[in-house]
Structure 1
Amino acid sequence: MKLLMIEDNKSVSEMMSMFFQKEGWDVSFAYDGEEAVEMFNRDPGSWDIITLDLNLPKKDGMEVAREIRAKSKSVPIIMLTARDSDSDQVLGFEMGADDYVTKPFSPITLVARIKALQRRAQNEPSSSTGADNVADEKSEEQVITKHFKLNASTREAYLDDKLVPDLTPKEFELLKTLAQKPRQVFSREQLLELVWDYEYYGDERTVDAHVKKLRQKIEKVGPQVIQTVWGVGYKFDDSEVDNQE
């Protein structure tokens, strides 16, 4: 796996380098925002995962994330930051981050998060399929309810034929997971396991921040279909859409 760690604290980089080398990963380091963008742009398709500090010299982490996402919609990004507020998490996810780790962090935790994101990326459906599997894959790739349509191959979702705009990879996976089983309630722990592919190392606020951004995008095109079940978690339910118009 080829990893780019964008981190201005060289002590942190040196510490993580030992853990990355133990995993056998090919790791490069950038120590400011401008260097990070330059390194990424040399070969955008070559990186398997990026860890990105928010507080960087020359160009901050939010701007770096924005520029990386302009080049690649799919490369997984884990943001590293000393900030620990919901608004910072939401802003990070809005810029295209897939996960969020608060400093100080355990190296073992970061390695586990990286492995989880990489497993999710590797399990994405391939664009080339055998003839015997086409029908099954088409069935798995589409979610259709009375008011909602989702196509995993094009990574598009529609509410009453209106496109839900600018979904990040994790927002799309979250929406797909909920919509595949309408009205089923998912706990935050279940969503961490299903969408982020980890349990013990997860932060439930990651789920809440993604749901908040996802709801904002859904509301741009129609009624809200992601419902909160207080004390439990979230569910997808478009059965009351007609009553909300």
Structure 2
Amino acid sequence: MRGAASLLVVDDDARVRTVVCWQLEAEGYDVHEAADGYAAWAGIERHRPDLVVLDLSLPGLSGLDLLRRLRAAGDVTPVVVLSGRDGEGDRITGLDLGADDYLVKPFSPGELAARVRSVLRRTVGRDPSGRGATDGQAPRPPATGGGAARLRIDHGTREVEVDGEPVPLTAKEFDLVAFLHAHPRQVFTRAQLLEHVWASSHGWQSEATVTEHVHRLRHKLGPGHLVTVRGVGYRSGP
């Protein structure tokens, strides 16, 4: 039985990525992100996501070209297009190239989450929480081995290692992971983390700041070290 479904959010607008990732994390998904088509291609190969949320207007490799390349390679990873292109021709092209759904900006994050759930149900055969197959199909195997890698935090030198390998972190990334791991399994809201880690409770920092730092830490540390508690916030793992 595998854990929460893994998603890749691809958009060159950092604000859109933050909103989408925040919503999908709140739904219980394991979310990665990419800012352009080439990074998305690499992210798909690295993370083997269960579903990709894809913008069409990307620098470098466009969303349509990425989708075309995926399907030409025989990759059937479900794709939900999230695009500012609202013309009928773009929607038809995207769907003809193999997109599983198409949502036009501006959009409702709640509606996007509902469409992701729907696509996962009918294409992967899993419920949104990742508890297993829902239509008789076997769940897809995990992309990586079980369990999180060993994390070591040295407060004196402010250094972090994963399985003995040093991981470069910014000062605030270190502060965040160190704080969470100093309070094992305790759940903190984004507002509480802003207060404790950023010493901010008066609005000069947005809660999106916490979300962005958690995403970056997950990319650097690997899965399992920072856990999203749906509808609440974050805790250390496992």
TM-score (norm 1): 0.48
Between structures 1 and 2, the one with greater helix share? 1
Say which structure, 1 or 2, has more relative contact order (CA 8 Å, 6+ apart): 2
TM-score, with length taken from structure 2: 0.50
